[in-house]
Amino acid sequence: MAQERGRDYDAVVPIDEMLSFVQRCVEKSGCISTQSRAVAEMLVYADERGHFSHGVNRLHIYTRDLATGTTKSDGKPSIVKQKGGTALVDGDSALGPIVGRFCVEVGTKLAKENGISIVTARNSNHYGAAGHYATMAAEKGLIGMAFTNTSPCLFPTRSSEKALGSNPISFFAPATNGDGFNLDMATSTVAYGKIEVAQRKSKPEVPRGWGADAHGVETTKPSEILGDGGLLPVGGVEERGGYKGTGLCMMVEILCGVLSGAHFGKNVREWQGVAREADLGQCYIFIDPECFADGFTSRVQQFIDETRELTPVDPNLPVRVPGDFARTHRQLVKEEGGLVYHGSQIEHLKGIAEELNVELFKYRPFTNEN
Amino acid sequence: MAQERGRDYDAVVPIDEMLSFVQRCVEKSGCISTQSRAVAEMLVYADERGHFSHGVNRLHIYTRDLATGTTKSDGKPSIVKQKGGTALVDGDSALGPIVGRFCVEVGTKLAKENGISIVTARNSNHYGAAGHYATMAAEKGLIGMAFTNTSPCLFPTRSSEKALGSNPISFFAPATNGDGFNLDMATSTVAYGKIEVAQRKSKPEVPRGWGADAHGVETTKPSEILGDGGLLPVGGVEERGGYKGTGLCMMVEILCGVLSGAHFGKNVREWQGVAREADLGQCYIFIDPECFADGFTSRVQQFIDETRELTPVDPNLPVRVPGDFARTHRQLVKEEGGLVYHGSQIEHLKGIAEELNVELFKYRPFTNEN
């Protein structure tokens, strides 16, 4: 249930065109061909849902990590420990989406056998939108939860040091006819991307609770947050409940970094650092609703429909449930016959194509004026 | 990591005295003697940690529910479906702590066998502090998670109707020497209790983000929130991230009410309603860290210690981790040799003793002036 974001688009790229392009880019950077598809599908997943901060805008990070060798081009995740519904995976420093896909396959099988499964991975890398992995489980009829730790960018409550990542929680539950409850949220109040957008639009201020200055003190100035400042946990400052956001962020860190034996907390390398391997930790918990009361998907549908139908405070702002924004964007993509982008995003990708000397995707102008 | 609350105490009640007293009260109200201990331990758990809003202050609700028959005095929880690491429990409308204890025993056994377990209960009742149940698992070396739905008291983001409970999330992970990470939080910004305290102290305003008026519009006036208003989700209003709190609150509802087949969302009866059974849903997820990287408790210790040692913004407000407030209060209880209470709380309990015609606990004056 992200806020609606009004934006204009200039270009439409058919999904297959973008999938092939991403594969060409990562393969040119060294990724073996059997693994490149996982990266492409993850980035397209995000753009198809309007989560541009996790889509092809980040392609260069994956190609760079391959080029510098901080991510292995032929890493092969494997199970190092397995019992009942659990598995511990070593990611072998493969690209995050490759480790993620491996873990989802293991976790799905274990959940079908045991009713519930948990898979944790160490030696992994940035894997993009957590919801991508929760979705894969939900498409198999499971409740899918996915978590990852990330590089330190957030001030724990009362701290003047950034010591936690934006550690997302995703929780997907299938309803009927492809509908569902799709929660995918950072445990920071907002993502960096929203603050960058505010600065790009020359907004002097963002709402309170979004970020802090270099000393960990709440500020509304985008330049201070993006400079040496950082993010605040969900809830913002302590008196408004920010300590709960810190707690949730630490919970994710325990499930990911601590449980798997990966790096954790302030010991995770800086975002976009290349001096050493990231050694991120990820965690997946899948639940088979078949093991509980009959009619789960119908009840989820009833629950989300009853929520959507609540009388809103402002008649122009209907009540939404997590995933509705993404659903609306996916509908636009379907109507347009492809992913929709700003001109500046197309230019960014052209630069990558030139740099790697790979063929660009085909695209056409965006015409929908709805 | 609740905020420190300065308060004065008047009386000390030895733990055994209070346990016996609660047992006498619920037995007099009809609870069978083999079940009364579970209620007593839950209420004492809360008071021992300074969570007075979940302790013996609520004893009268349990005795009333027994008296009116909305809670069965001889309810017997049972497993209705079991596979792998999962179990579906029917609470038979027994007192919440009795259903909770039963589920924890089932879940602990299943987690030891399968590495991870999930137990959901329907036909349950208010079970007090979720952390009580997470603690029981953590004391067995497990990661313990406990959730419950509650009566509607919270405005989902954009809604003018209260349609969700304060649905808590608890997540406990053991560290070394009895230390640990103990997150126990409502998914509302604060509990009703904090707003009641503000009103009792005649504070004209509470911070933004705590609650809304009868129309779902944010207000800082305690009287409006406590009147026909209600709570806001963690994060407060939408632009400050409140939609994330709504998402988490709904996640808990899916794990509890929806998965188990209990009542859910706006269909749960009103708090303190007695017209019909509560039919609450609860969920427990337990994980055995032995199935993952060796040395889990040491790494949890490192993580929470590194967090506590972060340089604070204000030198007088050290960085805390979830559970530290409760730990401090438990230390006070240990030093005093009993639970500590305000005089008004003792008077409240005297009233219950008279009403039920049971013997009061022994207590002595509080003397610690630290």
DSSP letters for B186-234: -SBSS-HHHHHHHHHTT-S---TTSEE-TTS-EE--HHHHHTT-EE-BT
Q: Is B240 close to A207, i.e. CB distance below 8 A?
A: yes
Q: Is A313 close to B159, i.e. CB distance below 8 A?
A: yes
Average pLDDT, chain B: 94
Which band of pLDDT confidence, cut at 50, 70 and 90, is reported for residue B368? Answer: low
B181, B215, B265 ranked by CB distance to A303: nearest: B265
* Token pair belonging to A269: 């390398």
Q: Is residue A71 over pLDDT 60? A: yes
To 10 degrees, the CA torsion angle through A72, A73, A76, A80? 10
Going by the DSSP 8-state scheme, the letter that residue B327 receives in this structure is: H
CA-nearest of A120, A97, A117 to A107 is A117
Q: Is residue A275 over pLDDT 80? A: no
Interior/surface letters B334-362, b for 16+ CB within 10 angstroms, e for the rest: eebebbbbbeebbeebeebbeebebeebe
A158, A313, A319 ranked by CB distance to B317: nearest: A158
pLDDT of residue B198: 87
Q: How far apart are CA A145 and CA B215, in angstroms?
A: 34
Domain of A114: which CATH number?
A: 3.30.1370.60
Q: Is B261 close to A293, i.e. CB distance below 8 A?
A: yes
Q: Is A259 close to B83, i.e. CB distance below 8 A?
A: no
Burial of A294 (C-beta count, 10 Å sphere; 0-12/13-18/19+): exposed
Model confidence over B153-170: pLDDT tens digits?
999 999 999 999 999 999
Domain that holds residue A17: 2-291
| Best mutation target, B218, B239, B310, to test chain A (most A CBs within 10 A) | B310
- CA dist A124 to A251, A272, A326, B5, B36, Å? 19, 14, 27, 41, 49
Q: How far apart are CA A256 and CA B72, in angstroms?
A: 41
Which band of pLDDT confidence, cut at 50, 70 and 90, is reported for residue B4? Answer: very low
pLDDT of residue B5: 41
pLDDT of residue A4: 35
Helix (H) / strand (E) element for A109: namely: helix A96-114
Tally of structural domains, chain B: 1
Which band of pLDDT confidence, cut at 50, 70 and 90, is reported for residue B134? Answer: very high
CA-nearest of A130, A91, A18 to A280 is A91
- The alpha carbon of residue B27 is apart from the nearest alpha carbon of chain A, in Å, by 33
Tell me, yes or no, whether A298 lies in a domain. Answer: no
Tell me, yes or no, whether B22 lies in a domain. Answer: yes
| Best mutation target, B112, B117, B118, to test chain A (most A CBs within 10 A) | B118
- The alpha carbon of residue B225 is apart from the nearest alpha carbon of chain A, in Å, by 15
Per-residue pLDDT averaged across A16-40, rounded? Answer: 95
Q: What angle do CA A335, A337, A343 make, to 5 degrees?
A: 100
Q: How far apart are CA B246 and CA B264, in angstroms?
A: 15
Are the C-beta atoms of residues A46 and A129 closer than 8 Å to each other? yes
End-to-end CA distance of chain B: give it in Å, rounded: 21
Tell me, yes or no, whether A320 lies in a domain. Answer: no
CA-nearest of B162, B161, B158 to B150 is B162
Tell me, yes or no, whether A323 lies in a domain. Answer: no
Residues of chain A with Cβ-Cβ distance to B163 below 8 Å are: 306-307, 310
Q: Is residue B225 over pLDDT 50? A: yes
Tell me, yes or no, whether B263 lies in a domain. Answer: yes
Express as a percent the part of chain B with pLDDT over 70: 96
Considering only alpha carbons, which residue of chain A is nearest residue B116?
Answer: A85
A114, A236, A248 ranked by CB distance to B84: nearest: A114
Q: How far apart are CA B217 and CA A241, in angstroms?
A: 18
To 10 degrees, the CA torsion angle through B36, B39, B45, B47? -100
Q: Which of A40-54, A157-171, A186-200, B12-26 has the lowest mean pLDDT?
A: A186-200
Going by the DSSP 8-state scheme, the letter that residue A57 receives in this structure is: G
Q: Is residue A2 over pLDDT 70? A: no
Q: How far apart are CA A262 and CA B214, in angstroms?
A: 48
Q: Which of A58-72, B55-69, B113-127, B190-204 has the lowest mean pLDDT?
A: B190-204
A208, A238, A306 ranked by CB distance to B3: nearest: A238
Whole-model pTM over 0.90: yes
Tell me, yes or no, whether B87 lies in a domain. Answer: yes
pLDDT of residue A369: 57
Tell me, yes or no, whether A35 lies in a domain. Answer: yes
Are the C-beta atoms of residues A176 and A302 closer than 8 Å to each other? no
Q: How far apart are CA A78 and CA B2, in angstroms?
A: 40
Tell me, yes or no, whether A140 lies in a domain. Answer: yes
- The alpha carbon of residue B93 is apart from the nearest alpha carbon of chain A, in Å, by 17
